[in-house]
Structure 1
Amino acid sequence: DFYTGIHHATAVGRLFRPDNPLLPNYKWVPIAYHGRTSSIGVSGQRFHRPLGQLKPPTAAAPQLGPCQRLDYELELGVFIGPGNALGEPLSIEQAEDHAFGLVLLNDWSARDIQAWEYQPLGPFLSKNFATTISPWIVTMEALEPFRSAWSRPEGDPQPLPYLDSAHTRQRGAIDIHLEVWLQTARMREDGQPPERLMASNFRDAYWTVGQMIAHHSINGCNLQSGDLLGSGTQSGPGEDQGGSLIELTCGGKNPVRLMNGETRTFLEDGDTVVLRARCQREGWRSIGFSDCAGTVLPAVPYR
């Protein structure tokens, strides 16, 4: 799972490190961590609120309990087509030939478990309880009409040569409109449809699909057909474009108010989160990514 959304990385980093939100390696290396496959499910996935160690700031010691700050993350997933042999890195020019296509991906996150466990090695129980993907893969060929130029903001370091190419700069970005919708249990009972919480675009990602694959293989790691890479949360530059609740609510300080009067700082039992995406460009047929929906069930008591 990568971390290519710079707006998300900055917003979340500001919550944990107000004076130093974006760590110095972010603009040089595509940050990522290794995950798992066992708990990845297709749209319609229903999962129980995770248990884990929680340690509020004022507590003397942690305790086991159900997550109280459950969140979603709006991501895209990259499925690998042909792999590479162990010890044979893929160049940036070769990298995208090894991407088969994209899906929507919800990287559900237990923020309170994450805050206690993530240093020094990163997420573990805060991320591995569920990940939901959309039910079909949109191929890279189908996305070709929606490619656009990719560049770095003025003053930012340019990528090292193994992550840079003419094709990356000319057509590395992909114009994919992204949205998050929420339907609470009360909304479902009242026959109300989901409500949109935000919208952003994958073209704002700080790193491209090709750069993720090239970096993943540069140490000789052998990618295999069917491997799945997460893009990281795709937030936009605006305050209302956070790809997670921790951003939209400023860490839970400013609840989101829904049209039916309910509020949310983090997800509650019975909530269904729906990710949606579409590519549109004049002169071309629009392409939709099927809904990526998942529902939170109550925690299973520990015995």
Structure 2
Amino acid sequence: MASVDTPVNDALQRRLSIANLVAQVGIIVTGGAVRVTGSGLGCSTWPMCEPGQFAPVFHEESTWHPIIEFGNRTLTGVLGIIALALIWSLYRKSAPTRRDVRPYAWAVLALIIVQAVVGGISVWVTLHPAVVGLHMALSLGLVSLSTYLVYRLYRPRATDPAALPRLETSLHVAIAAVKVAVAIIGVVVTGTGPHSGDADKPYRFAIDPLFITRIHAGAAWVLVILVAIATYLVAKRSSLAARPWLVVVGVLLAQGLLGYIQYFTGLHPALVVAHMLGSGLTVVAITWAIARSYALDTRSNSREPNSRLGL
């Protein structure tokens, strides 16, 4: 019989983990706003905004670009504060001991620091699309890690993954790999498009935008097919286990529809930012569904005592 790590009901830890996840998704949105408004070089250097000035100095000739860029940088500081608070909550004496979760919280903090440095480098290299793309990839990695952290604080985790059919575990690996590929290709698509992050110094990949967009769409459809197969197999075993996968299907279809709409309407900035938000939410849904598949109660139609909607 598989052993299970039972979640500990500590409200502060849970709330901080959710705050961290919301902020990680939020910074994708604010980063998108920086790109589509051409505010990436609103602060000309890093870590200072301007030489000798930590924050932008406003005068009559000022534009809103420094405000948007500095606001996005400020959110990075908020992420760091939340991560430190979460780590503190996991070590405080009055809280239940969660040694199993602590490495994930430290990893979140470490990646936030790396993310900030990469963001600074992107300014130093005048928003080279490869560095900007790495910035986005790190954000999606942080979203996945933060989602799993929330899961571990809310759900039990079966420690015997072999209890799942081999085909399902293989599908999980394939889904994760294809999602990574979709995200990376999506970053390249953005790197060939009009939203470079700065209107005066556009720096683009020398790749045919239509060609790479078709590759991106094809990879996305492969992901949809894999998720549909996984959902079908899980539903045959347990309707409860299938619910998170149905959410993934819904999010993927909505994200795909949004992608087609933004493409055929000329990449409207608001739609581009919404598509970036959708990318973050897709990572949340897939990470949660895969993690949830290994919970003991989803191997049949029995309901976990603290389960809500089977998610």
Interval containing the TM-score (normalised by the shorter chain):
under 0.3
Q: Whose Rg is larger?
A: 2
TM-score, scaled relative to structure 1 = 0.25
**Structure with the larger RCO, 1 or 2 (CA within 8 Å, 6+ apart):** 1
* Structure number with higher strand proportion: 1
Higher-helix-fraction structure: 2
